[in-house]
Amino acid sequence: MSAISDKFKKQIESDESFIAWIKSITADEEIDNICEMLNVDIKLYLSVHKPYMTVAQIQTMVAEGFTIGAHSQRHQKLGRLSEDEIESEIVGSCDLIQGITGKASVPFSFPNTASGVDRDFLNQILLDHPSIGLLFDAKGLDLDRDFIFNRVWVESPKLNAGGNEPLQHVIEAAYQDYLLQWLDRKRNLTRN
Supply the pLDDT for residue 139: 81
DSSP summary character for residue 70: B
pLDDT in tens, 28-83: 667 778 888 888 888 898 889 988 899 999 999 999 999 999 999 988 889 999 99
Supply the pLDDT for residue 1: 45
Mean per-residue pLDDT for 117-134? 96
**Confidence (pTM):** 0.71
Supply the pLDDT for residue 138: 84
pLDDT in tens, 8-30: 555 555 667 777 777 777 666 67
pLDDT in tens, 47-59: 899 888 999 999 9
What region, left, alpha or beta, does residue 125 occupy, with left being phi > 0 and alpha being psi -120 to 50 degrees? alpha
- pLDDT category, 166, cuts 50, 70, 90? confident
Supply the pLDDT for residue 63: 97
- Is the pLDDT at 162 greater than 80, yes or no? no
Residue pair 98/131 in contact (Cβ under 8 Å)? The answer is: yes
Supply the pLDDT for residue 92: 97
Supply the pLDDT for residue 157: 54
State how far the alpha carbon of 11 is from the alpha carbons of 8, 22, 26, in Å: 5, 9, 16
CA angle 103, 130, 132 (to 5 degrees): 60
Supply the pLDDT for residue 60: 97
